[in-house]
């Protein structure tokens, strides 16, 4: 695994990005190191989706730099994407395949062929009920699909994990299981960036929380002590920024 010169797996430095005449990212700087979980919060239109698009190489910055484990996701797209596992909010999986078949097929496309027992263990860890593992996804709820996608992402064992509203559709028990899984990924040295509206979920899992407004980080909080974050203060900050956005 390679990193940027300053040891960051995810690095956006002074990124400006526009769609036509509409400026979306306005000098965004955000770094996530190995073993770190970073939650990016912001209101609608703050630039969260565009940040993910820049990291995935789907949008080219007007200026500034974006690096994924040292690779430019636009100029070195294949190498950069090989470092990423991405779980979108609305998961796209194959309806006619079972959960196991989806996992085996999608992992094979990424060059991995885990043992069936490892796939089942990942499903169990995400809280997907065993009776669903062999069933087609056509009848799955949004939460069940999310669990399948999360299991596949974790099985890829890559250095960067990008999560878009990861707790959407998960019940409290599944959310707790998911948090434990993500902490395990970070302990293995991956950098995790989660984009979310869920302040409480972010406070439960993140090492740092960044508040995005008008395309740049305007405030940041770091977990400290046993209580980790002052949730009331975070809520006041988030509420102010959502109103401002």
Q: Which residues are CB-contacts of 39 (< 8 A; sequence separation ≥ 6)?
A: 194, 195, 196, 201, 202, 205, 206, 208, 209, 210
**Burial (CB count <10 Å: 0-12, 13-18, 19+), residue 200:** middle
Residue 5 has pLDDT above 50, yes or no: no
Give Cβ neighbours of residue 177 (< 8 Å, ≥ 6 apart): 125, 126, 127
In the chain, % of residues over pLDDT 90: 60
Residue 243 has pLDDT above 60, yes or no: no
Q: Is 228 left (phi over 0), alpha (psi -120 to 50) or beta?
A: left
pTM: 0.87
Place 133 in a pLDDT band, splitting at 50, 70 and 90. very high
């Amino acid at each position: 695994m390679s990193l940027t010169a300053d040891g960051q797996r995810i690095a956006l430095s002074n990124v400006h990005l526009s769609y036509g005449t509409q400026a979306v990212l306005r000098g965004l700087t955000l770094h996530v190191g190995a073993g770190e979980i970073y939650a990016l919060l912001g209101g609608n239109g703050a630039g969260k989706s565009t940040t993910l698009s820049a990291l995935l190489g789907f949008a080219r910055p007007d200026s500034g730099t974006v690096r994924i484990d040292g690779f430019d996701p636009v100029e070195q797209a294949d190498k950069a994407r090989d470092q990423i596992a991405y779980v979108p909010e609305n998961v796209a999986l194959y309806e006619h395949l079972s959960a196991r078949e989806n996992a085996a097929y999608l992992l094979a496309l990424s060059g991995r062929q885990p043992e069936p027992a490892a796939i089942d263990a990942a499903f169990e860890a995400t809280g997907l009920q065993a009776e669903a593992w062999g069933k087609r996804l056509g009848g799955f709820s949004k939460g069940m699909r999310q669990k399948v996608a999360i299991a596949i992402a974790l099985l890829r064992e890559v250095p960067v994990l990008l999560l878009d509203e990861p707790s959407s559709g998960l019940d409290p028990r599944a959310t707790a299981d998911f948090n434990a899984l993500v902490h395990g990924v970070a302990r293995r040295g991956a950098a995790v960036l989660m984009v979310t509206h869920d302040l409480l979920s972010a406070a439960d899992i993140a090492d740092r929380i960044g508040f995005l407004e008008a395309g740049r980080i305007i405030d940041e909080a770091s977990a400290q002590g046993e209580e980790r974050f002052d949730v009331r203060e975070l809520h006041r900050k988030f509420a102010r920024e959502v109103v401002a956005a």
